[in-house]
Amino acid sequence: MGPSAAPVGELNGRVGGRQPDRVLTTVPVAAGSAAGVPAVEITGLRKTYGGLVAVDDVSLTVNQGEIFGILGPNGAGKTTTVECAIGLRVPDSGTIRLLGLDPQADRDQVHEIVGVQLQSSAMPARLRVGEILDLYRSFYREPADVAELTGALGLAGKLNDYYKSLSGGQRQRLSVALALIGRPKIAVLDEMTTGLDPQARRDAWGLIEHMRDRGVTVLLVTHFMDEAERLCDRVALFDTGRIVALDTPASLAARARGGKVVRFRPSGEFDDHVLTELREVTRVERGGQRVIVTGTGELVNAVLFALAAAGVSAFDVQLDSSNLEDAFVKLTGTHLNEEGTLT
Amino acid sequence: MSALSLALPTRAGRGAFGKVVLNEARLTSRQPIAPIAGIAIPVVLLVIFGELPVFHRTAPDFGGLDPFDAYMPILVVFSLAMLALLGLSVPLASYRELGVLRRLSTTPVPPSWLLAAQGLVQICQALAATAIVMVAGIVAFGAPVPKSLDGFAIALVLSIAGLIPIGLTIAAVARTANAASVIGRIAFFPMMFFAGLWLPRALMPPVLLDISNYTPLGAAVQAMQASMLQGFPPVAPLLVLGGYAVAFGYLAKRFFRWE
């Protein structure tokens, strides 16, 4: 076990001393003596299937309490990376530590602290929701409260329903419930909102934020840009088995374009100097009746204020902010559609 | 990950194995194909055979046996084979197909518990089926009490021990529940032929009888029949059953995949 021996010992002590509070997830990480150890640390991960390289030289560190997004098209190596991280697959090379634990060597401890929601994993058709939850609950020493969990996931009225009678979205939420029922310190959610309707997606986002507030580290695999932008503290963009960028969604977006763009129709004539002398403005263009201003910072306020001072009103003001999607296109040269396939 | 192991993790919640077994029993009772095929069919056949006068006329070409008595062990192994080859293999293959085994391997409970629980449920059904057939045959239709109860018990245990690994091997090689069901049925009929379902062993020509002696169900019928009518069974069929247990135990362990 070598270098990971000390954190393991600390972790054991912490698990043993966990308060028997009936919260959804777990105690705040700050209370743990393992604070400072990264929740997930992957170094030089490589995994091939036959001759096909699925993941090549992937390294990333996820801090405790972070929502970390793994973003990319299908076949980019997202799921393989996550499956190696949770010990389902053995990497060809590279090291993985989860709160200092090796997912292969320390398998039993890892399974106690990591909750996993897998892509395309079903349950026997003739088990009831309540029976499935009760079964998985029995696997853990200090499981979550079923009523609270099913309430938060909108499954409270479904406990007596057979699995086969659930909709796709309900099955997905049950799968998330099973990932959280052991009150994990790290939750790994693979495409958790795929197949959910918009309301259920927003509910699921709320649940993830709620988990983070309780100190749970979330590793979120997704191909939805808006989801990653809304939830993730940091994002790793995957493309063909490699990480092409790793940063906050805002930084990645800012990297994608020179900044923000404001378009408007002025009420009258004005000199471009009114705007170009502003600190926020980098460029002013005219296209027909419209003016297009490129810049940074509080661009809209600065432009409108300067125009007002010059006695000009702006109509039909539009603000274009570059987003994660722009960053992805810029970094990979490809678009993602709803299904995660490239266009 | 490829090997069957029943190492019990110390950290799993108490009573988890009991819950796993309870759930397997629930699932079996909610889709009772295997118990119907493995328990009801032999019992119905037992009643039909017991009511037919021809089955109680001792014929010289039946090796001096009452045909009904000859069929008792055949019906017992019918039940054991149905439960092991189909009752055990189909759900396990479906759990792999659904991703249940994979999901379980991310929890503190190893997926091998599901195999153990499913095996336990099938063994309980096999013992119940054997008890029903034997008690009904003896009480209702005048079959003799086995001369060697110990011998019968040993023959029964070794038969189960020989058949369960065959069911596990089917679950190991079948990619889907449907495939397991097809393989199980394809294996079932020739095995039942050599058990004597259509041509009792007493009437088999020497070549067929020799082959039968080395098949799992032929050996099982031979051992049970001997314990019922003569006394402690000969060693040969017991060794054959033990051999199947070891050989298929190895194959199941070698080829079982969790995903």
Residues of the domain holding B62:
17-255
ipTM of the complex, rounded to two decimals: 0.86
In this prediction, residue A289 has a pLDDT band, given cuts at 50, 70 and 90, of confident
Q: Is A178 on the interface with B (CB under 8 A)?
A: yes
For B93-129, what is each residue's pLDDT tens digit? 999 999 999 999 999 999 999 999 999 999 999 999 9
User: B35 vs chain A: nearest CA distance in angstroms?
Assistant: 16
Residue of B13, B100, B107 lying closest to A124 (CB–CB): B100
Residue B1 belongs to a domain: no
**What is residue A74's predicted lDDT score, i.e. its pLDDT?**
81
Cβ neighbourhood burial of A185 (10 Å; 0-12, 13-18, 19+): buried
In this prediction, residue B14 has a pLDDT band, given cuts at 50, 70 and 90, of low
> Terminus-to-terminus CA distance in chain B, angstroms?
10
CB–CB of A101/A2 below 8 Å? no
- How many A×B Cβ pairs under 8 Å? 78
For residue B31, give the chain A residue with the closest CA. Answer: A126
Residue of B11, B98, B105 lying closest to A122 (CB–CB): B98
A320: which strand partners? A261
Taking an 8 Å cut-off on Cβ atoms, the answer to whether A122 and B99 are in contact is yes
Element (H, E) at A266: strand A260-266
> How many domains in chain B?
1
Q: Return the percentage of chain A with pLDDT > 70, whole number.
A: 84
Residue B41 belongs to a domain: yes
For A207-256, what is each residue's pLDDT tens digit? 888 888 888 999 999 888 888 888 999 999 998 899 988 988 877 776 66
Residue B239 belongs to a domain: yes
Contacts of B117 (CB under 8 A, 6+ apart): B17, B20, B21, B23, B24
Residue B91 belongs to a domain: yes
Q: Quick check: A300 pLDDT over 90? A: no
The radius of gyration computed from the CA coordinates of chain B, to the nearest angstrom, equals 19
Rounded to the nearest 10°, the torsion over CA B63, B64, B69, B73 is -30
**What is residue A335's predicted lDDT score, i.e. its pLDDT?**
61
Amino acid identity of residue B60, one-letter, is P
User: Strand pairing of A67-71 and A217-222?
Assistant: parallel
Q: List the one residue out of A156, A157, A191 whose CA is nearest residue A175.
A: A191
For A27-81, what is each residue's pLDDT tens digit? 444 333 456 799 999 999 999 998 889 999 999 999 999 999 999 888 889 999 9
**What is residue A205's predicted lDDT score, i.e. its pLDDT?**
86
- Residue A141: list chain B partners with CB under 8 A: 11-13
Domains identified in chain A and CATH numbers: 2-248 (3.40.50.300), 258-321 (3.30.70.100)
- Residue B91: list chain A partners with CB under 8 A: 124
Residue B171 belongs to a domain: yes
Helices (H), A181-316: 198-213, 225-231, 249-256, 273-276, 299-309
Q: Would you put residue A268 in left (φ > 0), alpha (ψ -120 to 50) or beta?
A: beta
Write out the residues of chain B at the interface with chain A, using a CB-CB cutoff of 8 A. 9-16, 19-20, 23, 26-27, 30-31, 91, 94-95, 98-100, 102-103, 105-109, 259
Q: Over chain B, what is the mean pLDDT?
A: 89
Q: Is A174 on the interface with B (CB under 8 A)?
A: no
Which of A144-158, A286-300, A309-323 ranks highest by mean pLDDT?
A: A144-158
Least confident of A323-327, B15-19, B89-93, B99-103: A323-327
**What is residue A11's predicted lDDT score, i.e. its pLDDT?**
36
How many contiguous H segments (helices) and E segments (strands) does chain A have? 12, 13
Amino acid identity of residue A312, one-letter, is V
